[in-house]
Structure formats: structure tokens, C-alpha cells
Structure 1
Amino acid sequence: MDIFDNRSASPMLIAEMQEPFDSPDYIYELKLDGERCLAYLDKSGAHLQNKRKLTLNPRFPELNGINKSVKSRCILDGEITVLVDGKPDFSQVQRRALMSNKFKIQLAADKCPASFTAFDILYYKDGPVMDRPLLERKALLQKVIKSENDRLAISRYIGEQGKALYEAAAEQGLEGVVAKRKDSIYQLGKRTKDWIKFKNLLDDDFVVLGYIEKENNVVSLILGQYQESKMIYKGHVTMGVSREDFKIISGIKTARPPFDPPKGNDNAVWIKPDLVCTVKYMDLTSKGGLRQPVYKGLRDDKDPKDCLEK
């Protein structure tokens, strides 16, 4: 069945982080801090879909017209970002992704409009192009987009110099770099070493298990990840938790913890293990804890069961 008509494509995934390297076999592009999105574009409109195949158009109405900037029917892979002070701000994207009120969404779109940056093409005119080498797909991506604008852009890349691009990204406080093998095909929903990330700061996704309220309206979230089917305690995060997200978190309380909690959680309020959050951190402690964790936001494009202990 045609992947354009049934909206069945799943984005290719990026392999676990490695140290930056240089290679003539790879190209390098910036890793944008936003929400991964497949854009199905034709004359009738734009359909935006995240990794869980949820439709994003109602939350990012300013992107509904990006189909007017392409020459032919296509599926583009890219990232939805919101720039704040010239840099992608993940919290702005995730805040929007959790909104449902149309009026508030439109206000947010007017104040901090989102953009879609395309870095790959899966489908062109009347069929898939995923078996073509990456550099051919990159050339086709340039061909299909008539003109770039504030809502639709094409990701730039360089060859060979992965270390230099990573250092430049780190100096600017950007998320990192993705290395992609030049001859790689596009593999739907698969994670391969053809695409590798170099990240400036580490981050990971965790299931929110509960919270502890402290003095001065400070909240510490309790985090977990799955080890096969068993929930494993992964510590707390306090810095960066917003009022908006805490309102969502505190709305799904449950009587029992979803795991056997360690000491230090006597005053915890437990919630259903239905929410996923992203946490940024410097590195791991010797016991596997997070060093200097900072909460980035809730995300609705990942199933809690996919938050696996590394």
C-alpha cells in the first residue's frame, strides 16, 4: 500500500552517541533541538506527523501552508523547531505539543512561530525514493523545494569535517551534530550506525513516576526507565520543571508507586507511569545517576515502554 496515502511511514532513527570523528564517507549536519516530524505535502495541503504517528497540524497551525513551497507530492523528514534568541528552544516546542486550546495555540504561534527544517526525502511524485543513496536524496530535496522561507528550510551539511562542526556547535550552545553515511539508504523505523549523533550535552528520556513537593514551590520529579518489563528507579530532577508541566503531572495521581521505591521517597506523590520527559545532564555518576540534571519538558511522541535503561 502507498505510504503517502496511508500515512504509514516511520522515521529512520539515529544510533547511540559516539565521539566526534572525521571521515570522507560521511556528511555532517546540525542536530536541531525540536520535535521530529514527517511532512506529507501535496497540492491539497500539509499533513504533519510525529514518531508516534500523531497529527501535529492543530498544534502548529503556522505550518499548514508549507506544502505551497514544494513543487511535487513528497514526504519530507525533518524537525519542528521554535527559535528563541536565534537558537532552537525545545521547551517551546514541547509546551506547544501539549496544548489543546485553539486560542492559546494561536497566541503561541503568533508570538513564537515554529519552523520545519527538512533534512531528507522519503517519497517523490508517485513513489518512494528511500532506496536511493543519501546524497541523491539530498539533491532531490533541493530540487523539490521551490523556495525556503521562515516556515520551511533545508538543513545544511558539510563533508568530512565532523569534529570542526561539533566544536562550532558546542561553542554556540547547540545540541550537537549528526553524522550520516553518504551512501546510506533510508530505513523506515530502524536505528542503524549509518546515522550517528555527537551531542554537546547528554540527554535521555524517562518515565515520570511521581514527585516530591519542597519549600518555596520547588518540585522534584521522580524518574524511571524500563529494564525489559521491570521499572528501574533513575533518580530525581528538580531544575527546570515548569508550572504548566507540573499541572499535567499532578493531574494523574495514583495510590501505589509503579515500582519498589528506594529510601528518600517517603513523601512522594505517585502518578500513573504514562508520561515521558526529557532530561539534560552532564554525565553519569559511578552509580548510574544523573549529574547536574535539568528538566527539558514532557514529550508525547514517545511511548513510556520505549524509555529503556542503557
Structure 2
Amino acid sequence: MLIADQSKPFDDPNYFYELKFDGIRCLAYITKDDVDLRNKRNKNITSLFPELLKLNLQVNSRCILDGEIIVMRNGTPDFFEVQKRTLMTNPFKIKLQSSRLPATFVTYDIIYVGDKDLVDLSLEERKVILNQTVKENDRIAISKTVENHGVALFNLTKQQGLEGVVAKRKGSKYFYGKRSKDWIKFKVLEDQDYVVCGYIQKPNNMTSIIIGQYNNKEELIYKGHVTLGSSLRTLNQYKYTIIDHSPFNLPVPSGNEKAVWLDPTLVCIVEYMPSDKEGLRQPVFKGIRIDKSTKECME
């Protein structure tokens, strides 16, 4: 189940409020003897997080848990550290990283337990079952809820440098693979996903990523630039193909004459300050995401 709406913070007795964790979304399929972790594209990521292989000891029944994998650094979730883990392939290096900065699975929903599918139960009923099923330790935590004080919780997250808050409508069911308006996010910095379409290396040794999104006609539309940094090291950790033409359906504005165009196969996250004006205000490249396809990056 995915979040459909982003909103300014509000207080409403019909909602629960939870912290939005800066990690990677994950379903945990847990049996008596096994743990299977899957990202939003159903890719098995269990081997990347060996410190989570004993989550089965923390549940009293086989179950499917919804949540996020986070890595804490200096007291707050660090997206770059958990993303770094998703790029690793060497088991020895993964083991070292898991010891140095161990991940935690933060679960906020349960959609199956024992032999029972729970998706048609209310959010409140699922929360009760979740707390009955999971025993917390350093590697698994249950997301705590707040009632009535969505604005205050958001202001607190802002003060603490956290990502934001998710409001969840009381009584709501769980819809597999759907973007539901029953879940609404309040973010300190808003974000969107974009297709990586090329890059430009600037005279000051900086690099800009050229980004785009698809419209409802499945045409790739130019959306501007976001600064990557002083090198292509981040991008070079992923497979990409240089092409000899612009991937956009429409002509791109001037300023892209020195672009190196790429086959549009990668998705990146861009954070920006909320604004009523057209375009992105103070965009920041947050990273490449492997759990989303380019066709999902819509205007």
C-alpha cells in the first residue's frame, strides 16, 4: 500500500500520526525458520541485511509485516547509509557494514498472521494484532502512533531534523499495490521521483543531472537539472548507457548543449523546498532508487 497524497500538517481526530522514517520500504515475510525481505519491486534484499536474519525469533507466529529498513547514524535515520547497503555485493563488506552500522526494521502494519489475511480489518485492529505478534529489540521496532496532534508532531520532527509524518485514517483497510488517500504524508522537505536522462559536467568541476517525468501520454518530459556534486561517482555505481540523442519527446530548452544523454533507465529522488511557484525550489539530489521503475515517475 502506497501513499497517495502529500499535505500541509493538520490535526484531525479521525487520523493516527506516525513518524516518517528515512529508509527503504520493505515487506518482511517471516516464518518460524526464515526471514524474507522484499522491496517495493519485490526484489529479495535479505542478503544485504544479515543482521535482520533473526527477526523470526521476535514474532510469535508466521506473518507478513509492512515497514521500513533504516540505518541510524548520530541518532537519526540516514538514508544514504541504508542506500549504500543496497549497492553492496561483497558478503564480507556487507557483514562489516552490518556490524558497524546495523539496520533496524521498523514495522507499522501487519497484513497476514498465522493463516489469516488481515487486509480487510481496520487499521486499529491491525495495530492491536501487530503489537500482539512482535516483540521489539534492537533490530525490530514497532512504529508508535500519536492522536490529535499531527501539527505538533510535525514541528517536533522538523526541530529534530527528521523526515516528516504520515497521517493514517482510522478504520482504513490495507490495499495491496494501491496508492491510497487514507495515508497522507507531511514532509519537512517535499520530494519527487524523476527519470535520470543525462548529465552536464560544469566548468567548476560540478555535475548536474538532467531529470524528466512521464506525462499521461507516456511521453518523457524535461523537468530541469539538479546538482549531483563534484563527480560522477554516485551515478557510476549503477549501470547506465550513454546515447547519442535526447531521450525527451519534446525539444529541451537552451543550456543543454553539452549534455551527455543517457538511456532513461534510472530513477532518482529529488528533495526541494515547498513553493507555490512553478519548478523546483532549491532542489537537492538525494539518491538513486532501485525499487521504482521509470514509468512510475509521472507528472
TM over 0.5: yes
Cα displacement string for residues 225-256 of structure 1 (whole angstroms, at most 9, x for unaligned residues)? 11121111111111557754221358421222
Residue among 24, 28, 42 paired with 1:39: 28
Deviation (angstroms), 1:16:
1.5
Equivalent AA in structure 2 for residue 265 of structure 1:
N
The change in CA–CA distance for 1:256 and 1:101 in structure 2 (over 3 A counts) is farther
Query: For the residues of structure 2 that align with 1:198 and 1:172, how far apart are their CA atoms?
Result: 15
The match for 1:305 is 295
- Where do residues 275-286 of structure 1 align in structure 2 (5 Å cutoff)? 275-284=266-275, 286=277
Deviation (angstroms), 1:14:
1.0
- Where do residues 253-268 of structure 1 align in structure 2 (5 Å cutoff)? 253-259=242-248, 260-268=251-259
Deviation (angstroms), 1:105:
2.1
Cα displacement string for residues 82-140 of structure 1 (whole angstroms, at most 9, x for unaligned residues)? 11111111111222212222233222222221110000000011121111111111111
Query: For the residues of structure 1 that align with 2:238 and 2:199, how far apart are their CA atoms?
Result: 9
Equivalent AA in structure 2 for residue 267 of structure 1:
K
Query: For the residues of structure 1 that align with 2:238 and 2:44, how far apart are their CA atoms?
Result: 22
The match for 2:80 is 91
Mapped contact 2:270–2:287 kept (Cα < 8 A) = yes
1:154 lines up with 2:145 in the alignment: no
Mapped contact 1:214–1:220 kept (Cα < 8 A) = yes
1:182 lines up with 2:170 in the alignment: yes
The match for 1:104 is 93
Mapped contact 2:213–2:220 kept (Cα < 8 A) = yes
The match for 1:73 is 62
Query: For the residues of structure 2 that align with 1:240 and 1:182, how far apart are their CA atoms?
Result: 43
Gaps of 5+ in 2: none
Query: For the residues of structure 2 that align with 1:257 and 1:150, how far apart are their CA atoms?
Result: 48
Deviation (angstroms), 1:56:
0.9
Cα displacement string for residues 165-191 of structure 1 (whole angstroms, at most 9, x for unaligned residues)? 111111111111111111111111112
Residue among 198, 205, 208 paired with 1:210: 198
Mapped contact 2:88–2:94 kept (Cα < 8 A) = yes
Relative to the length of structure 2, the TM-score reads: 0.94
Mapped contact 2:15–2:169 kept (Cα < 8 A) = yes
Query: For the residues of structure 2 that align with 1:240 and 1:194, how far apart are their CA atoms?
Result: 37
Gaps of 5+ in 1: 1-11
Mapped contact 1:222–1:235 kept (Cα < 8 A) = yes
Among the aligned pairs, what percent are the same residue?
52
The match for 1:237 is 226
Residue among 186, 209, 221 paired with 1:221: 209
Query: For the residues of structure 2 that align with 1:193 and 1:275, how far apart are their CA atoms?
Result: 27
Residue among 120, 133, 156 paired with 2:122: 133
Q: Number of residue pairs matched?
A: 296
Equivalent AA in structure 1 for residue 30 of structure 2:
L
Equivalent AA in structure 2 for residue 207 of structure 1:
V
2:241 partner SS: coil
Mapped contact 1:240–1:296 kept (Cα < 8 A) = no
Query: For the residues of structure 1 that align with 2:270 and 2:98, how far apart are their CA atoms?
Result: 25
Relative to the length of structure 1, the TM-score reads: 0.91
Mapped contact 1:40–1:75 kept (Cα < 8 A) = yes
Deviation (angstroms), 1:23:
1.4
